[in-house]
Chains A and B, each alone.
Chain A
Amino acid sequence: MAETASLRPTFVRPRWLTAPVAAGALLVLFWVGVALTVQWWPIDDPVLFAGKRLASPSAAHWLGTDALSRDVLSRTLHGAQHSLPIALVVILSAVAIGASLGAVGGFLGGLADAAVMRLVDITLSFPPILLAMAVTASLGPGLWHAAIAMIIVWWPIYARLMRAQVLAIREREHVEAAVAAGATAPRVLLAHILPLCWSPILINATMDFGQVVLLIASLSFIGLGASPPTPEWGQMISEGAQKFYQWWIAFGPGMAILSIVLGFNFLGDGLRDFLDPRTQ
């Protein structure tokens, strides 16, 4: 999907602030704000036991308390401090690794290209969740191990994307002109090709940001992510799933995931509308 979309890249046409972009930006900004400032908010400690366990929502605990009597709202808000930085690290690393390998492979061609692409093929042949499960299982649990697993899952997508971009742009006249003018290979790649490759990567990275948040939560949900008592959304949902008639335990973290992923999807969708004329 992304591959075809990327075959006809265009220049940014900045027409800011459509409704989706605004909504997405608001949601994302809200959660970034929460993640940065939540420790100063006047709310309960996310780890300390607060009193009555499994209390339903009330004025004192807007989203009730969990099985260890902790405030669910506070834990939900603190969850952003764990999910967001990890998602950022995963995306940045995956883009860095994937894009550079893909660019080099696409530009050089031949053996280097074949090697990178076969590695990409093999990695992409694993269902992502299974690969992440296997990596996390062999590294041991923990959020940062899960992050490594996710980088391994994600980099090939960017490698493919970047390679397709480089291949398409390499054929353009201005690149041929630069080559004819005697520019060195690294200079052609860095100055004449790469600057034109970023828009699909940017769209994808924005959309994937949300997907990474989802996958972290999924791994934690099946017990491969965060260690207790870290307030992590997937793990909170997993706790809530054990007693789902106490709906409030899973409600907060579920809404948190939904809103943050939705925010990034809005942003990505909006970006795509500008950057990719096919969907206009």
Chain B
Amino acid sequence: MYRYIIRRLIAMPLLLLGIVSIAFLLTHFTKGDPLISIIGERQMDNPIVIAAARARWGLDRSLPEQYLIYVGNLLTGDLGTSFQTKQGVAKDLLQRLPATLELVTAAMLVGCLLGVTLGVVAAHYRDRAADHLARLLALIGSSLPVFWSGLILLFVFWYTLRILPSPGRLDTRSTAPPFVTGFYTIDSVVAGNFAVFAESIWHLILPACVLGWAVMGIISRLVRASMLDVLNQDYILAARAKGASEPRVLVNHALRNALIPTLTIVGFSFAYLITGAVLSEKIFSWPGMGSYAVDAARNLDYPAIMGVTIVGGTAFLLTNLVTDIAYAFVDPRIRFR
């Protein structure tokens, strides 16, 4: 078991190198010229300007050279400088990653809360109307395109009813709290600024619900299944026989055990959420990794694209590893090979 984990950890840098190489090839074979976003269209036919810009951004070197330089810098922890923001990609990511993580965490909370509730309800009322309704809600959640549901909810709650705030992390006139974690909800509390705290929560509601609903489907389905498993176990019958109240049986006895396998789903949902974040950050003007990735891809900002891929890839590898290990603890039938 531990040998397995260690082996997986050792393999990670190699996998990362693979990811980096593929990302490098894909981006550099794109038939586009990143210079247009650096110097503007007007001068794109001026050979002197073009040559200067190529030299400055290292684009005048051959591809293998560029690759080796990039990997070399990477080993020293240097992710390069973004063509677009003109600051270190590491710094860019540090600014944007917390925004995405905050959104994804909030979405995960919403998703788990709703998903577990629905799952328990569905299991308890198995094959009755409530079960079908819960499953229907869950299925709709995983069938909704987030870029559309986000739009519709914005139209209803912001544009028409005006009960939820505009897209963005804070009101336009507010200033972000001083950087500690990058989570506005945490930083504002650290700074003692509860106005900004409330505001940041308020702005999180809509995007978190849109994304949360999407993962709720997966979670509730799994909770339902494992609740059904657990509810047939002897100790549940025993608890019922001892006269424990039904909510008590459900929550204290059944859910606690049913949740263990559910935890493993967090890894999968994370993947789902990253996809969702790319799309919903666009709709909700969320200055996170998703919108950074889209902009970087648009402008062919090579260092930024690579940075996003590396961070995204690492996160994926880590969650996959955690998920697999969690599986192993839960389900001893899985053999490690």
Contact = CB atoms under 8 A, between A and B. Distances in A.
A130 B151 CA distance: 22
A62 B309 CA distance: 44
Nearest to A140: B31
The range of chain B's interface size is 35 or more
Interface string A250-271: 1101100110011001100100
Contacts of B297: 133-134, 137
A133 B333 contact: no
A128 interface: yes
Contact of A122 (B15, B144, B147, B275): B15
A184 interface: no
Interface stretch (B16-24, B64-72, B84-92, B239-247): B16-24
Interface stretch (B50-58, B152-160, B177-185): B152-160
Interface stretch (A51-59, A92-100, A192-200, A210-218): A210-218
A240 B151 contact: yes
Contacts of B18: 118, 122, 125
A126 B309 contact: yes
Interface in B287-335: 293-294, 297, 305, 308-309, 312-313, 316-317, 320, 327, 331, 333-334
B93 interface: no
Contact of B19 (A126, A133, A218, A237): A126
Contacts of A48: none
Contacts of B293: 130, 133
A278 B271 contact: no
Contacts of B225: 278-279
Contacts of B23: 126, 134
Contact of A241 (B143, B151, B305, B317): B151
Interface stretch (B37-45, B189-197, B202-210, B278-286): B278-286
Contacts of A124: 316, 320
A37 B64 CA distance: 52
The range of chain A's interface size is 35 or more
Interface string B255-268: 00000000011001
Interface string A229-243: 000001001101100
B31 A121 contact: no
Contact of A257 (B30, B139, B148): B148
A122 B19 contact: yes
A67 B283 CA distance: 20
A221 B228 contact: no
A128 B143 CA distance: 17
Interface of A: 1, 3-4, 7, 19-20, 118, 121-122, 124-130, 133-135, 137-138, 140, 210, 214, 217-218, 221-222, 234, 237-238, 240-241, 244-245, 247, 250-251, 253-254, 257-258, 261-262, 265-266, 269, 278-280
Given A125-B317, A138-B26, A250-B148, 11 more contacts: A4-B327, A7-B334, A19-B132, A125-B16, A138-B30, A214-B143, A221-B145, A244-B151, A254-B149, A257-B143, A279-B224
